[in-house]
A and B are shown apart, each in its own frame.
Chain A
Amino acid sequence: MYIVVVGGGKVGYYLAKELLEAGHELVILEKNAGRARQISDELGSIVLNRDGCEGKHLAEAGANRAAIVAAVTGDDEDNLVVCQMAKHHFDVPRTIARVNNPRNEDLFKHLGVDEIISPTRMVLASIEQDIPVHELLHLAQLKGGEMELVEAQITDNSPAVGRKPTDINLPEGSSLFLLLRGNSVAQVRSDTVFQAGDKVLAVASGEGESILRRELIGDGEPVGAAG
């Protein structure tokens, strides 16, 4: 697969390295001459010392035959412009942008960037996982955001303690499916009895979420970062 990587910072460099090892064909566009030289010393002549935001440089890099253009500079505005140029000027089937300000994610999607990677969001999600928040933890969006994959932490005060899934009044369209207890992982069965300390993975729709939270975690005020 032919891939154009724009931005030869840490992300671009390691990305290129991994992709090369996986056998892909690629070029990196890096506008800083010193940095470009440094990368070609390490990885060989796969670097073009050019500004990837300019149409003619993307053309020179062969963007018109690229399967993917990945814009991974540290500047959101540059990453957006690269993806928009790639998409609309070179018909690149898949554009990927690094987004540093998580607030920009929606705008990027709206403007047609195919895939958005937000390191800030990832670190944030990871930190949130470590906070004992008595809330549903959002793990992933399904069906374009209609459904959410969530994790519920069952505590001593949860109404679900000592109950089976069949005793729980589940909202429509939701499903409990995986039980994480200690180091073991098991499917939630109709005879599973929930204990404090369990984590339950569930799928819920937007409006079903609050019911699911009440049934599994309880009505207590959520505590955590804000509390």
Chain B
Amino acid sequence: MLNLIWLIPLLPMLGFLVNALGVWRVRDDAQRERLAGYIASGAVVLSFLVALVAFFQLGALPGEERRAGVVLWEWMGTGRFHIPFGFLFDPLSAVMVLLVTGVSSIIHIYSIGYMHGDSRVVRYFAYLNLFVAMMLCLVMADNLLLLFLGWEGVGLCSFLLIGHWYDKKEGNFGRGVATPAAAKAFIVNRIGDAAMLLAMMALFFQFETLTFFHEGAGFLETAEHMQVSSIVSFLLLIGVTGKSAQIPLFVWLPDAMAGPTPVSALIHAATMVTAGVYLIARTHVIFTDATLGWVTWVGAITALLAATAAVAQMDIKKVLAYSTVSQLGYMVAAAGMGAYAVAIFHLLTHGVFKALLFLGSGSVIHGTHETQDMRKMGGLRRHMPVTYWTYLVGAGALAGIFPLAGFWSKDEILAHAWTEGQFLIFVILVVASLATAFYMGRQIAMVFWGNQRDHTYHAHESGQMMTIPLIVLAVGSLLAGAMNLPGRHALTHWLEPVLHTHPHEFGVANWVLAMVMTLLAVGSAFVGWRYYTTNEVKIDAKVKDPLYHYTGDLWELLEEAWFFDAFYEKMAVVPGFRSLAAFLATVFDKEGIDGAVNGVGQFFTHLSSQVRSFQSGYMRTYALVFLVGVIVVVGYF
């Protein structure tokens, strides 16, 4: 099976092609919808099974030989420049592939129920399959360029899927206009991608190859005894901040929640956004100490800021979105401290329980007829028992409560910060984890406890197609910690050939730390739950949050996620730019079209309409430009 690993990304790709080229032609609506769902889900489930078999075969090999590679064809080969189109299956790829295919299988099945009756369901499933294929290409690539293909591909699919409900102009509370959100996600991501491109060029300049492993000649192999410039890893870090939604490029992820909820679960929580963490783990050899310091701080600060921002959100999905940003911050911080295996451990557990939370919130949104404002919910535990209990498991896992999955992985990160002597980082992460427990307690209270505050809808439990995936994921969230239990550290040992990290000794100090952290988490969650259940009468969609009374402006700061978005928007029109634009202004202006676009583009649009005014349509102007050009060119020598 190990030489058939190319089947893993190929199967979803075939699913995409069948759906995109064949299924949409089916005339009968119900039949078309069923066919699309089954084909897409079937492709991913098959891919999961292949991955599972390959995983066990890999495990049967002795430790150092656990690396299978298949080169399908030479992608680009000219002169010194050789890039294979090949896949790599080693312990790190294997766990990523299992997470991606496993979680996607569940989410695909869930989508059959969730997207029932949607007008563009074939397109939805086709894009979802394409996404899975691209994500698998990303985690299985054996060189940086192929990784980049997947990296861009998942970005494109994310763009397409966020914009899925493009005709919902205003939509519900919190679901902003889907199109600007999609464009924003794409453009912000491209900033990171540009840095990735530059990093690749710098890498090639030094190593003359972009292949990870190639009989000792891959750049990850030669880098072990070579000094790599910090610039390369720093550029990679910028790429990571774009894809994994870290400061300062995290602004797109909360907006990306405009897409369908299963998409948020799959792309914007469990898989795509973790690509950055995977990239750091994969290329950790070339990260210098200087950059790793940056990585740690970016991660830790993101973890804290996003966790506090999540406290003040009113939209059920926005809470989870900021929580995702915050948890990604934990992973990045862990990777920055050199605990790559721990970062991957948290990535895996988070993939499971965050998918559960998002799907649970999808079930809530579905059952309350597209309500996303938590102020309009309340008392849902009586109407949606399955959703409630599974959600509770997910929330507990996220808050880090013993013995759920998140407890083990988060505790490992904190323990690592403690034993490495990074006390400031440790404190930041502890505060962030307190905030995490608090906002989950708050959310449980606002959504499931008390009484229903808005009676315009009739809440009901979702169908089996949606609840069974929830139960499966809840069981996963209960047990996922077992893969790296302290003392055994199965995952860390499994990843050791790739990541070269060794598990920490497990001592009394860790037990104490774990116990204290659990107590703190339970306490913080209880405070959040208690406050919002007792003050339920003060929760109203028309007034501010009950806590606003005590915190005032700080609350607004949190609600607006520390004003990053507003800052970027202000950036586009600061006086410096304006005067530059005015400087370029001339008397001619042919067809003035301004203000047609939004956001970052505005400044450039303004600037460029000035540039364009040279283009007046008059021959004499053109000839003048030409002549001046010649004179400048000649004069330059």
Q: Do A and B come from one complex?
A: no
